Structure formats: C-alpha cells, structure tokens
Amino acid sequence: MSAPDLVVVGAGVMGTWIALTAAERGRRVLLVDAFGPGDPRASSGDESRIIRSSHGTERIYPTWAREARDRWIRLGEEAGEPIFVESGVAWLAHADGGFEADSESTLRSLGIPVERLSPAEAAARWPLSPDGLACVLFEPEAGVLRARAGVRAAARILERRGGAIERRRVVPGTVRAGRLEDVIDGAGERLPGPTFVFAAGPWLPKLFPEIAGPLIRVTRQDVLYVGTPAGDPRFDAPAFPAWIDYDDAFYGIPALDGRGAKIAPDAYGPEIDPDAMDRIVDPASVAASRAFLARRLPGLADAPIVESRVCQYEATSDTHFVIDRHPELENVWIVGGGSGHAFKHGPRIGRYVMDRLDGAVDPELDERFSVTRVRPPSPGMRSAVPAWAVRDA
C-alpha cells in the first residue's frame, strides 16, 4: 500500500470498523494497534457481547443497533463464519414502569419487534425464577455477537479491501501549525499521515490526558463463564436468550461455542490502569454472581466456573460516546467512551465517524458526542451510575 491517507490508532471494535468503513470508501488506511485485533487486554477482547435495541426513551441508538445488526450479519457472510446469533434478549423488569417500559414504548413506535411477557410466561419459556419480577421485555430479533471473532473478521475484511494493519504502540508525534504530522512508535519510527483517528479505548486518557482524562474513566469489570449441567441444553444459544437485569446490575449470555453461560456484574468496578492490571477475577465478584444465580437462574446456582475474564470499561459519566475532532489539532479525531454500550454499534460508529471526516454534519449527534460538552451523570445506556461520576458531578 502507498502512503496512507488515514491512520487509525486502536484495533478494537470502534477502530476496526472505522478503518474498514474508510477502506470501503476508497481510503488508503493504516490500522495500528499495540497488541493486534481481538487481544484480551482490549475492551473488545472477550468472546461475546449482547446486541439489543432497548435504550429507554432514546430513539437514535435503537435505530443504530438495527442498522448495525444487519451489517454484523453481512460481515459474518463475508467472513464465512456467523458473527450474530439470534437468541433474543430478555430484560428482567422489577417494576411496570421505568427503563423497560420506556424501551417497549420506543421500540413499538420504531417498528422494532418486542414482546411483553408475564413472569409466569417467561418462567414457562426459560429456566428462570420469576420471583420479584413485574414482567419480562423480550426482543426476539436481538441476540449475541461473537465479539473477538467479529473484530478479527472485520480486520481480515479490511486487509482484503486493501487496508494495512501493523502491530505497534504509538503516541502522538510532531505537532506543527495546529496539525499532527505523525505518530511515533516505541522504536522511534514515525508514521506520517494527513488524518489520524485515535480509537484506543482504555488508553485514550493516557494518550490525551487533558482531553480524554476528564471525560473517560477506565474501570475493572469481572466476567464469569459457568458450566451448564451435563446433557442439559436449556441454557444454550439460541434456545436461551441473553438477559439483562437493569435494576440488579447483572447481565448474562447463553452458552455459546462450547463455553459456559456468561454472567457479569454490570456495576462499575474500581478504576484501573489497563497496562498494569492483572486479569484475575475478584472473589467478591464470584460470590455476588453466585448469589444472583441462586435467586434468578437456580439451575446454574451450583455450576462450576469454567472460564473467567477481567475486562475493562472505558466510559463517560453520561454513557454517550466521545466522537469529535481534537479541539487544538484539526486533523485528529478522538473516538471512545463506549464500553458496556458501544460494541453492538461498531459498524454504525464506523459509518458516523467516516461521515464526519467526509464533511457531514448532524447537529444533535455532533453535540452529544462532543469532547467539550458538559456531561451530567446518567445511567441512561447502562444499569449503574458510576461512583466517580456522582463524585465528580
């Protein structure tokens, strides 16, 4: 490939889809990542992610999720391996109103399939305890994405489209006249480019401490995979749905690809350094997860833990993304702040970023994703408000 006209730093779901979208639009793209696409240290590096349309009263993200769903399906077809699994997503509602009721109203108005089940109907369909539930909101066309496989598939398609991928850790290099001229790797080699997109996930606050530092906090998030009972397919995808308990701040994914059923506390963990954190699960997360399983999915209460992950979220206080031009460098864009919310939207984020680079203007979204907008704490797209957001408010 000749000299790139776009350098994307970070090969997680955001960066990879930005690079792939750029290549599909005829750009000469270089995608640079310290560890390579799908690495377990990335926020995109686990095996699976939920794709769902419910976002309360929000109307833009449900539309994005549906568009992204179609693109993930096409990616699987192009790559020769399915990335999307239509298991559906069940929201375990503790009250008749609130997030789930708002989501149902919004989805119906948008024509997105949704069902409201009584607790008894849900318990008859799936092996879950209905105790304490007001209803279950079910999105039948939602489901699960094979996360690591999806990022790597997008990276392979990028190379087929003529893009290049290099494994380097880079930092911003020379700045002259309000423009970044290059990035520099650990060996001192400089990679020039007319335009740069930094989609480096939990490393953004280190790359741009003055801008991303106040916006994005990086927190530890534990994930467990529990073994399903021998000979029992009830918890396997696609028969069993992905599920989200918004009020109790837990979510789970059905057993997929021979792995156990996934369960994860969705409350924000402690702030961490992504370079220094050991990926060893906290025993407190195991205890909390087992307690949740005992009351909600009793068939898995005594199941052994067969795998575990320690990931990280890199999130903003209001859960909306950061997608904006650097306020002092006209050819630099910063993209991040999406953990727990962004993976499913990856293809749509790629399209939005490239529309911005191609000169498109969307006043509502451009303001929402701004690096300079004041962001009051909100649980909006997530099931918990981080303590740091309340503290800093």
What CATH number should be reported for the domain holding residue 108? Answer: 3.30.9.10
Residues in the chain: 393
Residue 389: the pLDDT is 47
Whether 350 and 212 map to the same domain: the answer is yes
Residue 391: the pLDDT is 43
Whether 306 and 349 map to the same domain: the answer is no
Residue 41: the pLDDT is 85
Residue 136: the pLDDT is 98
On the question of pLDDT at 317 being above 90, the answer is no
Whether 132 and 223 map to the same domain: the answer is yes
Q: Which two tokens stand for residue 13?
A: 């779901």
Whether 109 and 226 map to the same domain: the answer is yes
Tokens 């997008």 belong to which residue? 154
Model pLDDT for residues 182-194, shown as the tens digit of each residue:
999 999 999 999 9
> Parallel, antiparallel, or unpaired for β 135-139 and 89-93?
antiparallel
Q: Phi/psi of residue 154, each to 5°?
A: -60, -35
CA atoms of 195 and 179, how far apart (whole Å): 9
Average pLDDT over residues 210-238: 95
Answer whether residue 103 is part of any domain: yes
Residue 384: the pLDDT is 53
Residue 202: the pLDDT is 94
Q: Of 258, 292, 313, which marks where a domain is finished?
A: 313
Answer whether residue 117 is part of any domain: yes
**At a CB cut-off of 8 Å and minimum separation 6, what does 176 contact?**
none
**Which is more confident, 31 or 384?**
31
CA atoms of 319 and 216, how far apart (whole Å): 10
Answer whether residue 211 is part of any domain: yes
DSSP letter for each residue of 213-228? HHH-EEEEEEEEEEPP
- The type of residue at 113 is P
Answer whether residue 257 is part of any domain: yes
Whether 159 and 308 map to the same domain: the answer is no
Q: Of 295, 313, 331, which marks where a domain is finished?
A: 313
CA atoms of 248 and 94, how far apart (whole Å): 9
Greatest mean pLDDT among 43-47, 171-175, 308-312, 318-322 lies in 171-175
Q: How many Cβ atoms are within 10 Å of 4's Cβ, its own excluded? A: 23
Answer whether residue 386 is part of any domain: yes
Domain span including residue 272: 91-143+218-313
Model pLDDT for residues 120-141, shown as the tens digit of each residue:
999 999 999 999 999 999 999 9
Q: Which two tokens stand for residue 335?
A: 């993209």
Neighbour-count burial of 214, counting CB atoms closer than 10 A to its CB (0-12 exposed, 13-18 middle, 19+ buried) = middle
Q: By mean pLDDT, which of 79-93, 288-302, 375-389 is the weakest? A: 375-389
Answer whether residue 105 is part of any domain: yes
Average pLDDT over residues 368-372: 96
Whether 117 and 228 map to the same domain: the answer is yes
Q: Which two tokens stand for residue 75?
A: 């990616």
The CATH number of the domain holding residue 158 is 3.50.50.60
Strand partners, 244: 91, 251
Average pLDDT over residues 160-175: 97
Q: Per-residue confidence at 291, pLDDT binned at 50, 70, 90? A: very high
CA atoms of 330 and 206, how far apart (whole Å): 20
Q: Per-residue confidence at 325, pLDDT binned at 50, 70, 90? A: very high
Q: Of 313, 336, 363, which marks where a domain is finished?
A: 313
Residue 388: the pLDDT is 42
CA atoms of 251 and 265, how far apart (whole Å): 7
- The type of residue at 223 is V
CA atoms of 388 and 390, how far apart (whole Å): 5
Whether 296 and 343 map to the same domain: the answer is no
Residue 393: the pLDDT is 42
Count of domains observed in the chain:
2
Whether 229 and 277 map to the same domain: the answer is yes
On the question of pLDDT at 382 being above 70, the answer is no
Closest CA to 91 of 293, 383, 302: 383
Whether 233 and 371 map to the same domain: the answer is no
Whether 31 and 154 map to the same domain: the answer is yes
**At a CB cut-off of 8 Å and minimum separation 6, what does 318 contact?**
375, 376, 377, 378, 380, 389
On the question of pLDDT at 339 being above 90, the answer is no
Whether 237 and 277 map to the same domain: the answer is yes
Whether 279 and 296 map to the same domain: the answer is yes
Answer whether residue 354 is part of any domain: yes
Answer whether residue 192 is part of any domain: yes
Average pLDDT over residues 19-40: 96
> Contact at 8 Å (CB) between 377 and 331?
no
